[in-house]
Amino acid sequence: MSLLLRHRDFRWFWAGETISRFGSSVSTVALPLIAVSVLQATTFQVGLLSAAAWLPWLLIGLPVGAWVDRWPRRPIMRLASAISLILFASIPLAAHAGLLTIEFLLAVAVLTGAAAVFFQTAYTAYLPNLLASQDQAEGNAKLHGSASAAQIAGVGCGGLIVQAAGAVNGMYVDASTFLIALLCLTAIRYREPRRPDVEHIPLGTEVLAGLRLVAGDVWLRTLTIFGAVSNLGLMGYQSIIVVFLVRELGVSPGMVGALIAIASSGGVVGAFLGRRVANAVGTARATLLFELVLPTLALLIPLTTKGAGLALYTIGAFCIGVGVVAGNTIKATFHQSYCPPELRGRLAASTSFLNYGTIPLGALLGGTLGEVLGLRTALWITTAGIPLAGLVLLCSPIRRSRDLPDHQGSAVPAVAADSSRARID
């Protein structure tokens, strides 16, 4: 029986997370369009806006991991959702009061990004407790798949909402989805077991423990470095693609949303294929396929032109989506089986600090290159970085392995063939 049918608490969590991802995807379209069409922002300012949302991973990502390992995780997620609800609702309220500026948008982006750091770190550490170990792979696939589907619907609807109601009013949609997510988290009956009192360990010591875990293990180190390098290119092109489509190609807001939605459908395909390809060829080999081979088609994006040439963008971005989501699904399952439970929060924070920490740098890189060299040249440079990042994997034991190992050091078969019962990251 499907995990969604037989696990009530996972069903509530899945629903809340999916709806929240939908709202966030609306904002992915609406925020740059607010900056471009309402505030007349420059290309650099749009890149800066994208960077601001991810900057908190660099500023607070590491200590948050240690805090999450000390505190119950579900209250953290609920508080983060409530804060995001208030902040996103403040954008249209500020606009109606005549107070909306690019500085206001940047402040909201930083603060909601900080809330996301707490939510994502707690989320990663919470799910292995919510679900039984045999439910890991199915749970990961369902969450990644539904997140991708929500992204498709969100960016598609985002463009239409912006066109029909205006970019500013679209933020009410995102705010309402965080309210629904908060209610879904509240409906979960599972309560984390009380943790035994332990001797207080200085925060810095706990942070260093997470960093040592990543730096001292070749598998964790390789996947983390790869993610960090890959995100430079990914965020570099994503931070300027809306500006490119609107200003260079004259695409309407509604069509922007439709194009991004079509491209984002690659994530659904990736969630479907990740587990199945890993079962067939091994987790290490599947990682190389999804993270090195498919992303080479990213180079179609800078070739995009008006009319039928828009298909080049959708094909390139679609293949990126397949590779990223499939690779993330495999990596999430690996992390859960490989990492000691008491270090999951710090592992999530340490890897996210390095992976997500390059995202604001990539956004600034994209915005700066677009401003100085032009949008199309900037797209050539940033998209080329996506497949080049896969070379990190070729310089590691992954190149010589069929499967990624488990925590005992043995090769784990990709995912059991009957993994209709699996657990999550």
Prediction pTM value: 0.68
In a domain, 418, yes or no: no
In a domain, 420, yes or no: no
Q: 237-287, pLDDT tens digit by residue? A: 988 888 899 889 988 877 887 888 788 788 888 888 888 899 899 999 999
What is the pLDDT, as a whole number, of residue 197? 56
State which residues form the domain around 173: 3-194+203-400
Scored b (16 or more CB within 10 A) or e, 173-206 reads bbbebbbbbbebbeebebeeeeeeeeeeeeeeeb
For 371-382, what is the mean pLDDT?
Answer: 93
In a domain, 412, yes or no: no
Confidence of residue 203 (pLDDT cuts 50, 70, 90): low
Number of domain units in the chain? 1
Q: 48-90, pLDDT tens digit by residue? A: 887 888 888 888 877 887 787 778 888 999 999 999 999 999 9
Q: What are the backbone dihedrals phi and psi of residue 322, each rounded to the nearest 5 degrees, phi first? A: -60, -50
DSSP H helices in 131-217: 136-165, 171-187, 203-215
In a domain, 415, yes or no: no
In a domain, 421, yes or no: no
In a domain, 274, yes or no: yes
| 153: pLDDT strictly greater than 60 | yes
In a domain, 423, yes or no: no
CATH of the domain at 267: 1.20.1250.20
Identity (one letter) of the amino acid at 422? A
In a domain, 114, yes or no: yes
